[in-house]
Structure 1
Amino acid sequence: MQVTETLNEGLKRGYKMLLTAQELDDKVMAKLKEAQPDIEMKGFRKGKVPLPLLKKQFGPRVLGEAMQEAVDGAMSAHFEEKGERPAAEPAVKMTNENWQEGDDVEVEMTYEALPEIPEVDLKSLKLEKLVVKADDAAVDEALGNLAESAQDFKDRKKGTKSKDGDQVVIDFVGKVDGEAFEGGSAEDYPLTLGSNSFIPGFEEQLVGVKVGEEKEVKVTFPEEYGAEHLAGKDAVFECTVKEVKEPVAAEVNDELATKYGAESLDDLKGQIRERLESEYAGAARAVMKRGMLDELDKMVSFDLPPSMVEAEAKQIAHQMWHDENPDVEGHDHPEIEPTEEHNTLAERRVRLGLLLAELGQKAEVEVTDAEMTQAVMEQARQYPGQERQFFEFVQNNPQMRQQLRAPIFEDKVIDYVAELAEVSEKEVSKDDLEKAIEALDDE
């Protein structure tokens, strides 16, 4: 197949490929000859059908297949010979639209080549890693938060009225049309006012009650209530208030620790310290990663595929527009034109993306099946009850798999770079780390 260059500007490439009628016919006959031994036809023994008859019978069907194979083969040979990789799927089209059998096939191929990525001396890279120790104050603060979330209730002074957030212990009997209904009665039931655990309107009517008070609570069951015989019905609950309790934080002691699966308070403190330092380490890694990317960006300069920059700029502009217009959930809005700021950010992202991909490829960084499965499982948790459908969606969607794979691959390349770089540790306070994280968001 004859290949002639028609465009070579920056990373843009164009080629004209010519497949002569004779070459195409030879390929068709070769494919028919290959299939001949297995073909049966009336009047001929298996494998003895003459090639001219096979061509007449199957030629048109084989023609398209042979043409596609010829073009694909020419493209593969071209990229191998040139040592180039396309930034995206090449655009391929026939230029002689009125082609008929017996004519030469003229094909035009255009693409943007991936640039040559310069070598980077990763060992010369100097990085700073922030280190934060979980001090006693941070551990105590976390313990206090746990104690509040594990709140207890203690009796209010006799005669005190209940408030929103209090717990009232009640006996109640629910009636519809004056008749008690099944499941509508209970004794010594602890109800936290404001928890919205009962029918809408029920708990609000118990705000302001006192111990010993009898209260009729009138409500209407929702139309979509689970029990059909009660849906939409008016009901009266005859309630007797037996206790009124105010919320108090649980005491910080061994009993609190056991509520959270720890053996003792000291054990719980140790677990909290480890969790906090793990959170600090994750935040510090994000700060170091930004510093690493900033340094790598300064170390390299190369041409960027225009289509990749344009697509990235549009995506950035679109995302930023939605961040500024949170009330607009759909995409039924005017097209957002990227600004110079969007283009500059897009160039940085594309440049660093290509660099990290090159570094990862040379280092033979791979994303394992186990890592992909873990990523899919984490995403699937966002769709409770539909996990199986999500797994199937990912399995049948290469683009979604790539979206899940990309951040895992990038993180592994970042770790690889950090191992080779000169990393110095700097111990800072929690406040300093928080400021460093805030600075990332401001950039």
Structure 2
Amino acid sequence: MQVTETLNEGLKRGYKLVLSAAELDEKVVGKLKEAQPEVEMKGFRKGKVPLALLRKQFGGRVLGEAMQEAVDGAMSQHFEDSGERPAAEPDVKMANQDWKEGDDVEVEMSYEALPEIPEVDLKSVKLERLVTKADDAAVEEALNNLAESAQDFKDRKKGTKAKDGDQVVMDFVGKVDGEAFEGGSAEDYPLVLGSNSFIPGFEEQLVGVKAEEEKAVTVSFPEDYQAEQLAGKEAVFDCTIKAVKAPAAAEINDELATKFGAEDLDGLKGQIRERLEEEYAGAARAVLKRSLLDDLDGKVSFDLPPSMVAAEAKQIAHQIWHEENPEVEGHDHPEIEATDEHNKLAERRVRLGLLLAELGRKAEVDVTDAEMTQAVMQQARQYPGHEREFFEFVQNNPQMRQQLRAPIFEEKVIDYVVELASVTDKEISKDDLEKAVEALDQD
């Protein structure tokens, strides 16, 4: 096959591939001869069907296969010989659309090549790793928050009116058109006012009730209520208030600790300290990663594939637009144009993405099957009851697998670079760490 370069501007490449009619015919004959020994046809013994008859019977299909194989082979050979790697799937199309059997096959191929990535002396990268310890004050603060989350309710003084946030213990009977309905009654039911766990308008009418008081609450079921026989209907709930209780944080003791899986209070404090320091370490890594990427971005400069930058800028613009317009859930909105700011950010992301990919390729960084399985399992937890369907979806969707693989690969490359870089630890307070993290969002 004859290959002629037609475009070489920056990273843009274009080629014309010509497969002569004689070459194509030779490939077709070769494929037919290869299949001939296994072909059976009425009137002929197995393997004795004449080539001319095979060509008449199967020539059209074999012709298409031979043409595709020739083009694919020429493309593979081109990339092997040139050493180039396309930034995306090459655009391949027939140049002579009016082609007929007996004509040469003319194919046009175009693509954007990945740029040559310059070498980076990773040992010259200097980083500062923030280290924050969980002090006693932070542990106590987290412990108090746990106690509040495990709050109990204690009886208010007799005659005290219920307030929003209080727990009202009551018996109630719900009636529609004077008749009690199924599922509308309960005894000793604990309802926290303001929890919105009952029909809209119900809890508000109980604000101000007292123990031993009877209260008729009138509400209307929503039109889309799940029980069709009640949807849209007015109901009256006869409520007998048995107790009004105020929220109270749980006592901080060994009993609280056992509720959270610890043996005793000291064990719970130890768990809290470990969890806090894991959170601090995660935040510190985010700061370290940004610092590393900033350093690498300043060390390299190379041409970027325009289509990759344009696609990234469009995605950034789309994402930011939805963040600014959260009420729009779908994608039925006007076309969003990328700005200079979006393009600048896209250039940084593409440049760093290509650099990290090259560093990982040279270092033979790999994402293991176990790491992929763990990533899929984490994502599957977002779809309780449909985990199997999600696993099958990922298995049959290469793009989804790549989306899950990419962040794992990136983090492993970051680890590789950090190991080679010059890193010094700096111990700082929790407040200073929070400021460092907040600064990331402001950049």
Verify same fold: TM over 0.5: yes
Asked if 1:426 corresponds to 2:413, the answer is: no
Cα 1:43–1:322 shift into 2, 3 Å? same
- Comparing 403-412 with 302-311, greater Cα deviation is found at 302-311
Q: 2: CA distance between counterparts of 1:25 and 1:206? A: 89
- The CA deviation string for residues 377-423 of structure 1, in whole angstroms up to 9 with x for no partner, is 22233333433333332222211211111111101110111111111
2:218 partner amino acid: K
Q: 1: CA distance between counterparts of 2:174 and 2:342? A: 62
Equivalent positions of 1:243-282 (< 5 A) are 243-282=243-282
- The CA deviation string for residues 289-311 of structure 1, in whole angstroms up to 9 with x for no partner, is 01101111122222211211121
Asked if 1:377 corresponds to 2:377, the answer is: yes
Q: 2: CA distance between counterparts of 1:383 and 1:226? A: 23
Asked if 1:240 corresponds to 2:231, the answer is: no
- Comparing 109-118 with 330-339, greater Cα deviation is found at 330-339
Shift of 1:140: 1.1
Shift of 1:327: 2.9
Identity over aligned residues, as a percent?
A: 83
- The CA deviation string for residues 27-52 of structure 1, in whole angstroms up to 9 with x for no partner, is 00000000001111121111001111
Asked if 1:160 corresponds to 2:160, the answer is: yes
Cα 1:54–1:415 shift into 2, 3 Å? same
Q: Which residue of 2 aligns with 1:218?
A: 218
Q: 1: CA distance between counterparts of 2:26 and 2:201? A: 84
Q: 2: CA distance between counterparts of 1:416 and 1:177? A: 72
Cα 1:356–1:216 shift into 2, 3 Å? same
Cα 1:384–1:56 shift into 2, 3 Å? same
- Comparing 85-94 with 191-200, greater Cα deviation is found at 191-200
Q: 2: CA distance between counterparts of 1:408 and 1:378? A: 13
- The root-mean-square deviation of aligned C-alpha atoms, in Å, is 1.9
1:236 is paired with a residue whose SS is: strand
Shift of 1:177: 4.3
If the length of structure 1 is used for normalisation, what is the TM-score? 0.95
Equivalent positions of 1:183-202 (< 5 A) are 183-202=183-202
1:130 is paired with a residue whose SS is: strand
How many pairs were matched up?
443
Q: Which residue of 1 aligns with 2:294?
A: 294
Shift of 1:318: 2.1
Equivalent positions of 1:131-142 (< 5 A) are 131-142=131-142
Q: Which residue of 2 aligns with 1:100?
A: 100
Shift of 1:238: 2.7
1:346 is paired with a residue whose SS is: helix
Q: Which residue of 2 aligns with 1:442?
A: 442
Q: Which residue of 1 aligns with 2:40?
A: 40
Q: Which residue of 2 aligns with 1:352?
A: 352
Asked if 1:49 corresponds to 2:39, the answer is: no
Any gaps of 5 or more consecutive residues in structure 1?
A: none
Q: Which residue of 2 aligns with 1:58?
A: 58
- The CA deviation string for residues 109-128 of structure 1, in whole angstroms up to 9 with x for no partner, is 11111111122221221111
Q: Which residue of 1 aligns with 2:16?
A: 16
2:283 partner amino acid: A
Q: 1: CA distance between counterparts of 2:194 and 2:273? A: 33
Cα 1:90–1:141 shift into 2, 3 Å? same
If the length of structure 2 is used for normalisation, what is the TM-score? 0.95
Q: 2: CA distance between counterparts of 1:223 and 1:339? A: 45
Any gaps of 5 or more consecutive residues in structure 2?
A: none
